[in-house]
Structure 1
Amino acid sequence: MNLIQIKYFLAVAECLNFTAAAARLFVSQQCVSKQVAKLEREIGVRLFERSTAKVALTDAGKLLQGEWSAMLERCDQAVVRARAVQDAGRPSIRIGLLELCGVVDFVLPRLSAYNEAHPGGELEYEIGGFLQVQEWLFMGQVDAIVTFNYEVARLPDRYQFRNLRDMDVFIILSRRHPLARREQVTLSDLKGQVIYAFAPNYSTYASDTVLTHCRKLGFEPEFKYFNSINAMELALQAGKGVSVAFREFYRNQGGELLFYPTPVLEGWQQPSISVCWSQENTPRLEEFIQCLEA
């Protein structure tokens, strides 16, 4: 049992609809269903009565909804108090950075600039995956995270985010791939191709938009999922699959990969590198966030 599972359960308990809860959380419905089912198995309690017509809380689910909602509220309050105690002794800011090279390369010079301007403070950072940095933020282990806007846009209202830099979308493939002989490659050209994407347990959003738009174009895409950006880049370089993603994902040492620009897909907000933080930290983080925007 973990905090992500509890948050997913509480979203479904409030919406009484897995699809609506997934939309609120900005994740796929399959991801929510999987995590709630896993939670039920781990604690040995049936939380929902499910039917084709509706979803309803069991009596046990109602009890845990109340208890866990109160628990999360107490956790948030405890984190605020703990930070106040620590910050009274030494000013510090803790940041979680998405482990993709484009994010790290964008942020590190700004962290150095902030350190130079504030020699008396302490700035710490950790690097992790999409869901990992979010959990750090939820648990109060970091003050802010730098990730992608579509990963945080539908977090609860107590979390704020600000876009730092827009990103362009590309179809990415190896020079060895058969499509590399073309001057242009579009989404329609991906019919029959294997599309590489992050696994749902690494990024809950990675393949959803591509899947939707391929279906609009009349074909069902075949995905191969990865839990590591390095493994995905290595597979791309082998020339057997394609990716619909951002330059910021890949180092592309040696120039093996080709990048074909594609418009931001309809219904997909402009992707951006973004900073996200808890609302109660706004006063102490404002100057730091302005440094990231510079």
Structure 2
Amino acid sequence: MTIHQMECFLEAARTLNFTEAARRLYISQQGLSRQIASLEKELELRLFDRTTRDVRLTRSGELLLWRWRDIPKEIQASIDMAREEGERSKSRISLAVVGMSGIVEMAGNLLADYMAQDPDTEFDIFEFTDVKDLSSHNADLVMAVTFIPSFEQIGEQYGATSIARLPLYYVVSRNSPLADKEELTLKDLKGQTMLCLFKNFFAGAEMRLFEFISNGENILNKARFFENVNSLELALIADEGIHIGFKEFYHNYGNRLKMYPLPNSTNQAYANVVVLWHKQNENRFENFIKFLKNLSN
């Protein structure tokens, strides 16, 4: 059964005049008759009683007219909605944001600012903690944090821009003996455990940063990795180790933690909040990229 057969039946059922129905559908009367005959054969139902003087619906035909009468309108409405959605999707941008509360909040404010000046653009935003999340969503842009500015080496097929710099800190529990010090040195951290987030994504970025600052010396005892922020923060509060992070990261328990500038107060290190994208697709959202690049100027 085809939509065209349905339309032929409905027009003939409304007019009860095959000649008039064919005229309204811009087809021949013979063509209309063939479509209805084919429909009746497929359904194994007689839908019309036809004589030389008039055309009447059978009881089956009346039932189909009652149940089918709005279907063509619904089909057309759904097609119109699909086309409208297709047009809207051309201006929709998907953004993957690393699942850190402070960074997600930053992304929300960023998108709100852009949409205020370009209300026709829509965004799909999702959080990720693993590279596998990115491949499954196939985002247009990725917003993440780098502790060492290595994003400049991502290859010619990608574009990247830094949109914010966040001061980095050694973070310890206020219950830790280290919290009594005015300033931490590498010597104070000897034997500590480094608490790190998202092993699969950052691949121990905090650990690599610490090794970089300590010139690769074996100061720490070991590293522990956590799959979510809350678990890491609870371990910090319980004085199970230290963490390298930034103030915007600690959304829930910051008042129970103490932070020391890394590596020291006179030589502050920073993390970069970066946005990356495939260069082959950037024409579609070039205005948003210009907006991002203006943030760093």
* Same fold by TM-score greater than 0.5: yes
Residue aligning to 2:105: 105
Residue aligning to 1:191: 190
**Residues 90-169 of structure 1 aligned to structure 2 (within 5 Å):** 90-132=90-132, 135-136=134-135, 141-149=138-146, 150=149, 152-169=151-168
Residue aligning to 1:78: none
Q: Is the 8 A contact 2:99 2:128 kept in 1?
A: yes
Measure how far apart 1:105 and its partner are: 1.9
Residue segments in structure 2 that go unaligned for 5+ positions in a row: 1-84
Q: Is the 8 A contact 2:130 2:198 kept in 1?
A: no
Residue aligning to 1:204: 203
Q: Distance in 2 between matches of 1:271 and 1:254?
A: 18
Q: How many residues align?
A: 203
Q: Distance in 2 between matches of 1:122 and 1:161?
A: 21
Q: Distance in 1 between matches of 2:101 and 2:89?
A: 34
Q: Is the 8 A contact 1:146 1:276 kept in 2?
A: yes
Change (3 A) 1:262 1:254: closer
**Larger mean Cα displacement after TM superposition, 236-245 or 202-211:** 202-211
Task: Give the AA of the match of 1:166.
Answer: R
Measure how far apart 1:199 and its partner are: 5.0
- CA-atom RMSD in angstroms: 2.8
Measure how far apart 1:178 and its partner are: 1.0
Aligned residue for 2:93, secondary structure, equals: strand
Aligned residue for 1:167, secondary structure, equals: strand
Q: Percent identity?
A: 25
Residue aligning to 1:257: 257
* TM-score scaled by length of structure 1: 0.61
Change (3 A) 1:122 1:231: same
**Residues 39-58 of structure 1 aligned to structure 2 (within 5 Å):** none
Aligned residue for 1:165, secondary structure, equals: strand
Task: Give the AA of the match of 1:143.
Answer: D
Instruction: Determine which structure has more spread, i.e. the larger CA radius of gyration.
Output: 2
Residue aligning to 2:231: 231
Change (3 A) 1:280 1:218: closer
Task: Give the AA of the match of 1:93.
Answer: I
Q: Distance in 2 between matches of 1:111 and 1:89?
A: 17
* TM-score scaled by length of structure 2: 0.60
Residue segments in structure 1 that go unaligned for 5+ positions in a row: 1-84
